[in-house]
Amino acid sequence: MTDYERYGDYQPSEEKSTFGVALTFLLIGLGAGALSALLFAPRSGKQMRRLLRRKYEDVVENISDTAEEWKGRAEEFREKGEDFVRSARETGNKVAGMARR
């Protein structure tokens, strides 16, 4: 019998599994985070759901407003592009007419 077995001193195992340790600490952290969130929540569940719903509706409204704004800008750019192409075509036709003479 070795001294370690006789006195009960710690001997690390040969297999070092860091995944199991990491998973254990992850679960402990998740539990502690959930518990602290429940203990320190500034509002009740009903109030929090109402607040989240309002914030969600605000975000959806802002996204639709932004999309409409982008659509308007895209139409303006398209119109400017059409005007540019039209003027370039006219200028090209004038130059071609002058070159033919």
53-68 pLDDT, tens digit per residue, is 898 899 888 888 888 8
**φ, ψ dihedrals at 2, nearest 5°:** -85, 165
Mean pLDDT of 59-81: 91
Query: What pLDDT is recorded for position 27?
Result: 96
Query: What pLDDT is recorded for position 89?
Result: 93
The total domain count for the chain is 1
Q: How many CA atoms are closer than 13 Å to the CA of 74, on its beta-carbon side?
A: 6
What is the span of the domain harbouring residue 56?
Answer: 3-100
Chain CA centroid to CA 83, Å: 38
Q: What is the pTM of this model?
A: 0.40
